[in-house]
Amino acid sequence: MTLSVVSGETLAQRLREAAPNSVVDWDETAVWVEPSSLGSVASALHGDADFDFKFLNAISAIDFVEHFELVYHLTSIAKQHTGMVRSRVYGREEPTAASVVGVWKGADFQEREIWDLMGVRFTGHPNMKRIMLWEGFEGHPLRKDFL
C-alpha cells in the first residue's frame, strides 16, 4: 500500500468544470479557491469518482496578518491518495468562509474551533458557537494581534 498525492493542478482542472469561478490559483501541492465557494468545492471533490475525497483529515487556519489562510487536508481511503485545498480569507473584522459541514460532518468541531480561536466565521454551519472558550470571551487568541 502506498500513498500518492493529487497535484494542485489536477484539482484545479477538475474544479474549473465542477465548481465554476471557484479556482483562484494552484501550485504543485494545493489548489486555492474562493472562500465563498468552499461548499461547492467540497461537494465536487467529495462526489467526484476519480478523487473520492471522502475523508477530511484536518482544517487548519493560519493568520498571515494580511489574510487568513484555511488549509484542508483531504484523503481518499478507497483510492489511497491525498490532496490539499486552500483558501485565502481577507478582512479582519468579519472574515467569513463557506462551511463544509454539509459534506464532511468531521468539519463540525474544527470549524467551531477556528471561529473560536482564529475568528473566521463559517456560513452555513448549524451551530457556529465557540467551542474551547466561553461565549462572551473577547477576541480570538490564535490571531497574531491578540498577544
Partner 1 sequence: MTIRTEPMTVNVGPQHPSTHGVFRVRITFDGEDIVEVEPVLGYLHRGTEKLAEERNYVQVVTLTDRLDYTSSMINNQAYCLAVEQLLGIEPPPRGKYLRTLAAELQRIASHLIAVGFFVQELGAFGTPLMYTFRSRERILDLFEMLCGARITVSYMRPGGVFADTPPDFWPALDQFLNEFEGELEEIENLLLSNEILMVRTRGVSPLPADVAINCSVSGPVLRASGVNWDWRKIAPYDAYDQVEFDIPVGENGDNYDRFWVRMQEVRQSLRIVRQCVAQIEPGTVRRELPMVLRAAPGAEAYGRVEASKGELGFFLVSDGGVSPYRCKIRSPSLINLTITEHLLLGWKLADMIVSLGSVDINMGEVDR
Cβ at position 111, least distance to partner 1 in Å:
11
Residues 6+ apart with CB under 8 A from 93: none
**For residues 110 and 23, what is the distance between their CA atoms, to the nearest angstrom?**
23
Q: Which of 18, 24, 67, 71 binds partner 1 (CB under 8 A)?
A: 71
- If binding is defined by CB under 8 A, does position 16 make contact with partner 1? no
Instruction: Find the radius of gyration of the CA atoms of the chain.
Output: 15
Distances (CA, A) of 132 to 30, 114, 140: 29, 10, 11
Q: Residue 60 carries which side chain, given as an amino acid letter?
A: S
- Nearer to partner 1 by C-beta: 16 or 62? 62
Residues 6+ apart with CB under 8 A from 134: none
- If binding is defined by CB under 8 A, does position 67 make contact with partner 1? no
- If binding is defined by CB under 8 A, does position 27 make contact with partner 1? no
Cβ at position 97, least distance to partner 1 in Å:
16
- 83: cell is 490532496
Cβ at position 20, least distance to partner 1 in Å:
26
x/- mask, partner 1, residues 85-104, rule CB under 8 A, reads -------------------x
- If binding is defined by CB under 8 A, does position 128 make contact with partner 1? no
- If binding is defined by CB under 8 A, does position 49 make contact with partner 1? no
Distances (CA, A) of 47 to 40, 51, 70: 10, 8, 21
Q: Name the site residues for partner 1 (rule: CB under 8 A).
A: 1-3, 54-58, 60-63, 71, 73, 77, 80, 104-110, 113, 117, 131-134, 141-142, 147
